Structure 1
Amino acid sequence: MILPLVFYSCSGTETGDSTTADNEFTGAPGEVKLMTVDPGHFHASLVQKYSYDQVDSVAYVYAPEGSDGLERHLARIEQYNNREENPTNWVEEVYTGPDFFEKMIEERPGNVVVLAGNNAKKTSYIKQSVDAGLNVLSDKPMVIKPERFPMLREALEQAHENGILLYDIMTERFEITTILQRELSRYPDVFGELEKGTPEDPAITKESVHHFFKYVSGQPLIRPGWFFDVDQQGEAIVDVSTHLVDMILWETFPGQGIDTTDVNVVQADRWATQMTPDQFTKVTQMEPYPEYLEEDLDENNNLNVFANGSFVFTVNGVHGKVSVEWDYQAPEGAGDTHYSIMRGTKANLVIRQGEEQNYTPTLYVEPVNGSGGEQFEQALNSAIEEIAGEYSGVSLTPSDNGWQVVIPDEHRIGHEAHFAQVTEQYLDYLVEGEIPEWERKNMLTKYFITTQAYEKSR
């Protein structure tokens, strides 16, 4: 089966209806129509890895002419259409030209704009889409420079006032160990109360290690050259850290909206990952370096990418720490890894994903301050039994410092599948007609934190 495509030239395209998009959604089949803008990041295709009854099978793509990102996007969609198990049936209608964004706004054949590409342009794309009355489902980050934060704030406020749904893709909330860490923190007889922590010993820590060279949907991931330009992709502090800040807000104060006045960045740092010319060519299929990366080269022609960062912030007095590192390639059998700890007065809830865990995220409950007696064990067993009512098969096994939470494979669906879960959540919000207040407040505060950390790191 060949992916059905319709290409429009720069001229001769019929002008579509320019009236405001109809935002009355009922959940009816095919009522949501996607318009993907300049899909330079593979996350754009992961939104379409699966089909949704509510989403029309015809998806519209607007991109620059000759875009490598567009070619790779269409190839992945074709792969999803052609797979043996659970194939999709997307039909991609493509417009290419220098005026691709303006043409999307003019034609507006759909009602949801999907953004996952060059982050330097994303905040402007978001604001212009909202101005045009279009809903937006955006990959993170929505903003990478502090001077653009007011534009994002205005877009979020305007979207809410006009009944437009602007939402970012926070996949890590759907990772099962994170879900269970959050759930167990809500049992006072197990977790106690969340510590306040200090800058040196935060109450909650989220650390992640990522890799430039990796596989997506079974194929080596080819990254665009601009991915390594922090002025276009963004530094770690404003990019991947978005997920970690989101999880800290989501776990420590579940269901509560956090205002920008409730947070403060205490300290921040940044450092570079070095890539050789051969490594750069392997991951981008580009040679030599593009001109915009020349200022980041050292005397040996190696590329220094400021893809690493960490910072400590407080939220309602609770200290949280975020740390992101990028290596070139993971060890054999490993992939991106995550570490997290939530410190309670009775127990710490710890996620580890190292060699000892076979690089699989694993959750531990580790009592503190002598609280691990028989009464504690009974409370923990009772909590796990209750949680297993929703997440079947979840159980406990003893570990060196307490207990390991045993999680059946059926709950470990993988990072790529989390994009479908976020999309389904967004579709639900479309039917409800609004994004919950706590979601909207935390979206703004999350980017306030990352852009403030960006400034503090300097």
Structure 2
Amino acid sequence: MKFIPFVSSLCMAALTTACQSSEKSEKVKDEVRLITLDPGHFHAALVQKNMLEGVDSVVHVYAPDGPDLQLHLDKIQGFNTRPDDPTHWKEEVYKGADFFDKMIADKAGNVVVMAGNNRLKTDYIQKTIGAGFNVLADKPMVISASNFDQLKESFATAEKNKVLLYDIMTERYEITTMLQRAFSRIPDVFGTLEKGTPENPAVTKESVHHFYKNVSGSVLTRPAWFMDVAQQGEGIVDVTTHLVDLVQWECFPDQVIDYQKDIKLTSARRWTTDMSLSQFKAITKQNTFPDYLKKDVVKDSILRVYSNGEINYQLRGVNAKVSVTWAYKAPEGAGDTHYSIMRGTKANLIIRQAAAQQYKPTLYLEAIPGNKTLEASIKAALPKIQQEFPGIEVKKVASGWEVIIPSTYKEGHEAHFGRVAQKYLDYLKSGSLPAWEVPNMIAKYYTTTQALELAKKTK
């Protein structure tokens, strides 16, 4: 049996800075007992893709009966029956309209995993934390400015009740992002972070996703509500959560962000992805649009989904831009893609993931005009990088330097859910989160929800 180790490699050091926590919990001394609440998103299953050390193999699931629950159970069964490294989870399922109240009353576990319909998620978080459970929630924790204060109150309640509330930020475990962060912390290579302008931001992060995709070897069936922004949330408050998180995590590592002082929105916009009924059928296995989506259906049975968004803002005076685009299906051989640039006074750190990179994220170090010393600086800095990330090398390319990453670091998005879960277990064992995590989660959701309000006002 293969377990995900608590500290699996030196590359995890970027996330284990010792610091005092603003949110203290009772240390979890016994086995962690997971509860899965209304799993409507495949991310709930990915938390259990591998067995987790210190976690009971019995998982209690509370949900209404229906296709969302069955899809979740089928994925867990797939993990249990796969030929290589099968898991041995046992799902104890309660199905009923009173599933949430039943979960609270039963107290069958001590950590509740939430990944599903976001319409009630903020409310579920508040009530679950109030009942004394720890919560590991998929993003987004909140999808509207009207519920932002409710989420803030939940963090305050978590501190009072000595439990931990944490969201699943998988992109911190993507190796090119980790290396971009690491190189940005070496002044001889990067210099210092530029301030930029709204027209030419110092930091840009762009993410392209697809409704039609393969997960664990099969075409993903999405619930119809995933295309309803009243339930899933608009793109500007959904996937952009990851991008805003990375801006904070990379530009101001291990530092507390004060959302009232440090964040200033410049502009925001939103737009739709249009989907035909036949495309909708292919990913939902439903023959018609449900009634709740008909408000978004225009002529010729075209569903318009506000899944795309862009935010321009300042974080401590640094201009940043994040954007997410949802296409229906990726080109052959491609998948979800990510582009990122951090502009320094000596070099730019750029992640590209296009056809030239065979759709694999690749990090480049490119000197700014006039910098003739980048090569020497990189060679001098490489041993320090290799201490944290053994095996990393660089090679000269036309635009500058490409970072060569051994295949052992390229786990893929699905594996990152286990990394986040194991990191959360570490925090439970120690009884605390790093001091910056809670205020920075609050700052992140302030940015996304306020940006949505601004985008709705923008013509």
TM-score interval, normalised by the smaller of the two chains: over 0.9
Contact 1:385-1:395 at 8 Å conserved across structures: no
Does the residue aligned with 2:232 lie in a helix, a strand or coil? Answer: coil
Unaligned regions of 5+ residues in structure 1, if any? 1-21
Note if 1:320 corresponds to 2:320: yes
Number of the residue aligned with 2:339: 339
Number of the residue aligned with 2:16: none
Does the residue aligned with 2:440 lie in a helix, a strand or coil? Answer: helix
User: One-letter code of the match for 1:243?
Assistant: H
Partners in 1 of 2:406 and 2:385 — Cα distance?
A: 13
Number of the residue aligned with 2:163: 164
Number of the residue aligned with 2:386: 388
Number of the residue aligned with 1:442: 440
User: One-letter code of the match for 2:116?
Assistant: G
Note if 1:77 corresponds to 2:106: no
Partners in 1 of 2:85 and 2:386 — Cα distance?
A: 28
Number of the residue aligned with 2:201: 202
- Cα deviation for residue 104 of structure 1 reads 0.2
- Cα deviation for residue 53 of structure 1 reads 2.0
User: One-letter code of the match for 1:242?
Assistant: T
Number of the residue aligned with 1:9: none
Give me the identity figure in percent.
54
Number of the residue aligned with 1:363: 363
Number of the residue aligned with 1:112: 111
Partners in 2 of 1:23 and 1:196 — Cα distance?
A: 41
Partners in 2 of 1:266 and 1:296 — Cα distance?
A: 28
Number of the residue aligned with 1:404: 402
Number of the residue aligned with 2:274: 274
Aligned with 1:24 (options 27, 38, 45) = 27
- Cα deviation for residue 392 of structure 1 reads 2.0
Note if 1:306 corresponds to 2:309: no
Number of the residue aligned with 1:180: 179
**What does 1:240-259 correspond to in 2, within 5 Å?**
240-259=239-258
Q: Write the deviation string for residues 329-366 of structure 1: whole angstroms up to 9, x where unpaired.
A: 00111100000000001000000000000000000000
**What does 1:77-156 correspond to in 2, within 5 Å?**
77-156=76-155
Q: Write the deviation string for residues 99-141 of structure 1: whole angstroms up to 9, x where unpaired.
A: 0001000101000010000001100000000110100000000
- Cα deviation for residue 389 of structure 1 reads 2.1
Contact 2:27-2:430 at 8 Å conserved across structures: no
Does the residue aligned with 2:300 lie in a helix, a strand or coil? Answer: coil
Does the residue aligned with 1:289 lie in a helix, a strand or coil? Answer: coil
User: One-letter code of the match for 1:246?
Assistant: D
Does the residue aligned with 2:436 lie in a helix, a strand or coil? Answer: helix
Unaligned regions of 5+ residues in structure 2, if any? 1-24
User: One-letter code of the match for 1:25?
Assistant: V
- Cα deviation for residue 227 of structure 1 reads 0.2
TM-score w.r.t. length of structure 1: 0.93
Partners in 1 of 2:87 and 2:73 — Cα distance?
A: 13
Partners in 1 of 2:27 and 2:306 — Cα distance?
A: 43
**What does 1:39-78 correspond to in 2, within 5 Å?**
39-65=39-65, 67-78=66-77
Partners in 2 of 1:400 and 1:126 — Cα distance?
A: 50
Does the residue aligned with 2:221 lie in a helix, a strand or coil? Answer: coil
Partners in 2 of 1:161 and 1:441 — Cα distance?
A: 16
Q: Write the deviation string for residues 207-257 of structure 1: whole angstroms up to 9, x where unpaired.
A: 000000001111110000000000100001100000000000000000001
Does the residue aligned with 1:305 lie in a helix, a strand or coil? Answer: strand
Partners in 1 of 2:392 and 2:269 — Cα distance?
A: 38
Contact 1:207-1:340 at 8 Å conserved across structures: yes
Number of the residue aligned with 2:424: 426
Contact 2:130-2:161 at 8 Å conserved across structures: no
Q: Which moved more, 1:138-147 or 1:397-406?
A: 397-406
Note if 1:454 corresponds to 2:457: no
Contact 2:76-2:89 at 8 Å conserved across structures: yes
Number of the residue aligned with 2:220: 221
Does the residue aligned with 1:435 lie in a helix, a strand or coil? Answer: coil
RMSD: 1.0
- Cα deviation for residue 161 of structure 1 reads 2.5
- Cα deviation for residue 286 of structure 1 reads 0.7
- Cα deviation for residue 91 of structure 1 reads 0.3
Number of the residue aligned with 1:7: none
Does the residue aligned with 1:41 lie in a helix, a strand or coil? Answer: coil
Partners in 2 of 1:238 and 1:73 — Cα distance?
A: 24
Partners in 1 of 2:319 and 2:160 — Cα distance?
A: 33
Contact 2:224-2:290 at 8 Å conserved across structures: yes
User: One-letter code of the match for 1:137?
Assistant: L
Partners in 2 of 1:390 and 1:434 — Cα distance?
A: 24
Note if 1:291 corresponds to 2:291: yes
- Cα deviation for residue 436 of structure 1 reads 1.3
Does the residue aligned with 1:54 lie in a helix, a strand or coil? Answer: coil
Partners in 2 of 1:383 and 1:333 — Cα distance?
A: 35
- Cα deviation for residue 85 of structure 1 reads 1.6
- Cα deviation for residue 160 of structure 1 reads 1.7
User: One-letter code of the match for 1:174?
Assistant: Y
Number of the residue aligned with 1:354: 354
- Cα deviation for residue 387 of structure 1 reads 1.0
User: One-letter code of the match for 1:431?
Assistant: K
Q: Write the deviation string for residues 63-96 of structure 1: whole angstroms up to 9, x where unpaired.
A: 002x211101111101111112211110000000
Q: How many residues are aligned here?
A: 431
Number of the residue aligned with 2:188: 189
